[in-house]
Chain A
Amino acid sequence: MGIFDKLGFGKKEEKLQEGLEKTRAGFLDKIGKALVGKDRVDDDVLDDLEEILITSDVGVKTTLEVIRRIEERVARDKFVSSSELQQILKEEITGLLKDNEADRPAEFDADLRHKPHVIMVVGVNGVGKTTTIGKLAHMYKTAGKNVMLGAGDTFRAGAVEQLRIWGERAGVTLIQQGQGADPAAVAYDTVASGKSRDADVVLVDTAGRLHNRRALMDELGKIKRVMGKVVDGAPHEVLLVLDASTGQNALQQARAFSEVVDVTGLALTKLDGTAKGGIVIGISHEMSVPVKYIGVGEKIEDLQVFERARFVSALFERTMPSA
């Protein structure tokens, strides 16, 4: 959280909690009481846990995995206090979320091993790729880094103009060849310019594409490959953007994108609504890829470095749908 304090974004905690209709804070007390001194978990507590996880889009498979782990721990440890049990529950879920890697720090003021550090942003249509790039540019810039953007979405109507405006807001340079240009050429050009113009961070936007469209996915592979021809190892980060309101399909997305461009990090957007984005737990676990950022609004500062513990707490604190 340090960086946000420095940048003056300390209000984030409240923002994440905005939009609560009713809370489920009571659950943790309940699970505690129901568990103390026993060696198995009551069915209705497990039912509640199941409901919380499923309605957070954690998915059946991961939910069952969490429940299995809790049951195992309780059977083994028995007589635990309620606060310990809350802790266990959070730990087991947090444990599924992959740790960040040292050579790809999420913090904006951290030193970067590569110069330029090239980040390619991918994802299905409308998840928030371009907006996230705008926010990242702002964050890196504010942290004193020299940032360059590449308008690699040459397909969607208005995409180049949209990124141009974000670049302007962040006060960073945009490399573009207009709509209809070859996205791989734009990516190449951007990385080359970044290199020659001494950029610290290069952010390359790509057009939204559904993961089941093979030709478009192949194109993405090509866009990625050309960058490596300019700067060794580029892109150093492939950021897959996921919309928090997406359900189980996000897993399919993550698998398909990883297969083609080897995703190294996740950004979870639109957490300012009531969706909880629980699907990232299973994704992070299965694909062994860390969640790095969360999007909490449409403004340039509405981006946070992902914190596992806070995210997991939020699963239990935020709104539950009651159909």
Chain B
Amino acid sequence: MFEDLSTRLELAFRSVTGQARLSDVNVAETVREIRRALLDADVNYEVARSITAAVKEKALGQGVLATVTPGQQFTKIVYDELIRVLGEQKEDITFSQVPPTVILIAGLQGSGKTTFSAKLAKMLRDQGKSPMLAAADVYRPAAVDQLRTLAGQIDVPVYSIEEKDALRVAKEALTEAKKNARDVLIIDTAGRMHVDSDMMDEVARIREAVNPSEVLFVVDSMTGQDAVNTAREFNQQINFDGVVLTKLDGDTRGGAAISIRTVVDKPIKFMSTGEGMESISPFYPDRMAQRILGMGDVVSLVEKAQEQYDEVQARKLQSKISSNTFNLEDFYGQLQQIKKMGSMRELVGMIPGMSKQLGDAEIDDDAMKPVESIINSMTIEERRKPDLINGSRRKRIANGSGTTVREVNDLLKQFTQMKKMMKTMTKMNRMGRAMEGLKNLTGQRKLH
């Protein structure tokens, strides 16, 4: 359903090609297309209007560039405007001079606060800090249980009490953190509606009592038009320091990010991209802008891959993929690396529309288990040239590995799918670079 913006603009611009200058007439139609694209991406109505107004002003009178299509040129203008709104650079959390650093987590129901609290604790722990969690959601059934289970997985202590008194939990947790020399205290609070004055009072009182160095507002990236209301209200009540966007592993455009940035001048600091404890990353405005415009969160993907991959191996792999010589031996070798990146699915999910494109090319991490034994039962020749593996060879391999022919078939099928997937990823990577190239156009443009 979503075409990306530049494709749409190509259509709107059919008439412009060949003209020397962007004129009122062709700009008006294009601006309408942009506005619609922004609304489809859940950018707030008023905000979309102000963005298109800014874009229009910039676009009028610009010379039509010879090297790119007017659609691309316009996309670039919109892209720049979104970046401007989203904030130019990424921002980190503020740590207190005197430990513990207190981080207060708040937001609407079900936005992902508890999951994020645990992820943040894990991230900080991995960075050498000694975090503690406070279970200040005293309302939701099994909220404490949930936090305790997650904390158990990441080996971080949790402070909770029996009484239903969130303020007391927060205060006592702070004392406890000091006593045990924990240098970070992350307070998970109950989900609350911005219009629920009692609940908003509660979190404001917690804020006052524990004086956090960082208050984070957690927002579901699938949020629609109402994002402006909730962000504004939460900001008025608790004056948060930053925003966390969750569930970005879905295929939402995430236009709420633009809306929020427009109504409250607070940076988006983190993205949450899955249910697993490792699915957290800093926020990069440029990637978000690309995502909203439907260009895919390409850079994030590549960077995440790079973080986890051994550089040299990755490069080797890349050339093998593009030259189509990637074989089962490489597959086996890379399997462990890939698993370290988190789930393949999650990585692919960062590219809107990608999951659809891949069809059933699902890489299921559990299905990887018998792989080792199957590949071990192959001859070197077979590993290098999987095409050789015919019916009788499959039978032999199945016997040798204690698996079934079906499993061998599955593996071979999966391997082919993976090859396909990786090739697509390489392609997307190139698209990302093209986008970077587009960025540099600003320098060349002539206004009159």
Residue in B222, B230, B263, B362 whose CB lies within 8 Å of A246: B222
Interface size of B as a range: 35 or more
Check B229 against A246 for contact (C-beta < 8 Å): no
Check B146 against A158 for contact (C-beta < 8 Å): yes
Give the distance to chain B from A66, nearest Cβ to Cβ, in Å: 15
Q: Kindly state whether residue B262 has any CB partner on chain A within 8 Å.
A: yes
Q: Kindly state whether residue B46 has any CB partner on chain A within 8 Å.
A: yes
> 1/0 per residue B371-387: CB within 8 Å of A?
00000000000000000
Q: Kindly state whether residue B112 has any CB partner on chain A within 8 Å.
A: yes
Q: Kindly state whether residue B195 has any CB partner on chain A within 8 Å.
A: yes
Give the dominant DSSP class at A's interface.
loop
Check B193 against A161 for contact (C-beta < 8 Å): no
> 1/0 per residue B153-186: CB within 8 Å of A?
1000000000000000000000000000000000
Check B146 against A247 for contact (C-beta < 8 Å): no
Residue in B195, B256, B356 whose CB lies within 8 Å of A247: B256
Q: Kindly state whether residue A319 has any CB partner on chain B within 8 Å.
A: yes
Q: Which residues of A contact B130 (CB under 8 A)?
A: none
Check B141 against A166 for contact (C-beta < 8 Å): yes
Check A274 against B194 for contact (C-beta < 8 Å): yes
Give the distance to chain A from B266, nearest Cβ to Cβ, in Å: 15
Residues of B at the A interface (CB closer than 8 Å) are: 1, 36, 39-42, 44-47, 50, 108-112, 139-143, 145-150, 153, 193-196, 220, 222-230, 247, 249-253, 255-256, 259, 262-263, 275, 345, 349, 355-356, 360, 362, 364
Q: Give the residue name and chain of the B residue nearest to A319 (CB).
A: B229
Q: Give the residue name and chain of the B residue nearest to A161 (CB).
A: B142
Check A157 against B252 for contact (C-beta < 8 Å): no
A279 CA to B229 CA in the complex, in Å? Answer: 17
Q: Which residues of A contact B146 (CB under 8 A)?
A: 156-159, 161-162
Please count how many residues in chain A sit with their CB below 8 Å of the partner chain's CB atoms.
56
- Decide: A243 near B220, CB < 8 A? Known: A212-B250, A214-B360: yes
Check B111 against A165 for contact (C-beta < 8 Å): no
Check B228 against A321 for contact (C-beta < 8 Å): yes
Give the distance to chain B from A135, nearest Cβ to Cβ, in Å: 12
Check A298 against B109 for contact (C-beta < 8 Å): yes
Give the distance to chain B from A122, nearest Cβ to Cβ, in Å: 15
A210 CA to B250 CA in the complex, in Å? Answer: 6
Contacts A213-B249, A323-B263 given; 13 further ones with Cβ under 8 A?
A55-B45, A59-B39, A60-B39, A125-B112, A126-B247, A214-B355, A245-B108, A245-B230, A246-B222, A273-B193, A274-B229, A321-B46, A321-B228
